[in-house]
Amino acid sequence: MLDHTVHKVVAAVGLLAVLFFSYTSFAKENIQDLNKNNGLADLMLIHDWKNGDLAVLIRHEERCDRSSNPCLGPADGITVFGSQRAKKTGEQIRANMGLENVDILTSPLLRAVQTAQSMLGDAKLLSSRHTICGQDIIRRLAQHKNSERSLLLVTHSTCINDLIQSAGYRKAGKPQYGSLLFVKILPEGNIEIMGQLNVE
């Protein structure tokens, strides 16, 4: 009887070891750093962008209530520095990729709205900051994306991390202010994270 129990324990430990090895082998580790490539000038990104296949999640710029830099407006918004950097990012997006075939959405929180205005001009307000967030973010993102147009979403670090984790990455990290996460929308509701670009 004791011998039978030992065999069960050994089998269970073996199964756990196999599952752990499989997880560590197949779970993704790090997202590609697009700063090391051509960034916004990457030809594959431009092709997918113009083809309407991409969703880009942008973290809002520098929060005023967490910085000693001067505020652009109210304390729950972004700093003047963040606004200036967002404007430069928007100029780079327009110059390298264009905004002709793009829908622009933003979280309704002031810091996201100010980032969208500084970076991209007008953006459609979502009903809540959580509208495209949570464990089912991939489905929600697909619901808000027109199949023939790319999508820009100005959002928050928690939402970006939701997407990274839902895509199977073990390390989400903390997206920098103003960073861009490029996601290719695949058939049947799947996604491929193309990479992340941090604002210099």
In whole angstroms, how far apart are CA 82 and each of 60, 120, 124, 128? 9, 14, 21, 22
* pLDDT computed for residue 8 by the predictor: 60
Provide the 10 A C-beta neighbour count for residue 101: 14
CA distance 118 to 72: 11
Provide the 10 A C-beta neighbour count for residue 161: 20
* pLDDT computed for residue 162 by the predictor: 95
pTM: predicted TM-score of the whole model, two decimal places? 0.84
Q: Which residues contact 131 (CB under 8 A, 6 or more apart)?
A: 107, 140, 144
Instruction: Spell out the SS3 assignment of 26-74.
Output: HCECCCCEHHHCCHHHCHHHHHHHHCCCEEEEEECCCEHHHCCCCECCC
* pLDDT computed for residue 30 by the predictor: 84
Instruction: Quickly tell me which residue has 């990729």 as its tokens.
Output: 97
CA torsion angle for 125, 65, 67, 78 (degrees, to 10)? 20
Distance, CA of 22 to chain centre: 26
Q: Give the bridge partners for 137, in sequence order.
A: none
* pLDDT computed for residue 7 by the predictor: 59
Instruction: Quickly tell me which residue has 């007008």 as its tokens.
Output: 122
CA distance 128 to 107: 6
* pLDDT computed for residue 29 by the predictor: 75
Which residues in the chain show pLDDT less than 70? 1-28, 172, 200
Look at residues 192, 120, 186, 177 and name the one whose alpha carbon lies nearest to residue 153.
120
Angle at CA of residue 140, ends 134 and 146, nearest 5°: 150
Q: Give residue-wise pLDDT tens across range 115-163.
A: 999 999 989 999 999 999 999 999 999 999 998 999 999 999 999 999 9
* pLDDT computed for residue 132 by the predictor: 95
* pLDDT computed for residue 18 by the predictor: 44
* pLDDT computed for residue 1 by the predictor: 58
* pLDDT computed for residue 128 by the predictor: 96
